[in-house]
Amino acid sequence: MKAYATKERCEVLGEYLVENRATVRHVALHFSISKSTVHKDVTEKLEKTNPGLYVLVKEVLEQNKSERHLRGGEATRQKYLSKAKKGK
Quick check: 27 and 17 in contact, CB under 8 A? yes
For 56-82, write each residue's pLDDT tens digit. Answer: 999 999 998 887 777 777 778 888 888
Residue 16 scores a pLDDT above 60: yes
Whether residue 3 is contained in a domain is answered as no
What local confidence, expressed as pLDDT, does residue 5 receive? 57
Whether residue 32 is contained in a domain is answered as yes
The parent domain of residue 59 ranges over 9-87
Whether residue 68 is contained in a domain is answered as yes
Whether residue 73 is contained in a domain is answered as yes
The more confidently predicted of residues 88 and 74 is: 74
Question: Which pTM does this prediction carry?
Answer: 0.75
What local confidence, expressed as pLDDT, does residue 3 receive? 59
Question: Which among 44, 31, 43 is positioned nearest to 4, based on CA atoms?
Answer: 31
Whether residue 1 is contained in a domain is answered as no
Whether residue 41 is contained in a domain is answered as yes
Q: Judging by beta carbons within 10 Å of its beta carbon (0-12, 13-18, 19+), is residue 42 exposed, middle or buried? A: buried
Distances (CA, A) of 80 to 18, 34, 68, 69, 75: 32, 28, 19, 17, 9
What local confidence, expressed as pLDDT, does residue 14 receive? 96
Contacts of 78 (CB under 8 A, 6+ apart): none
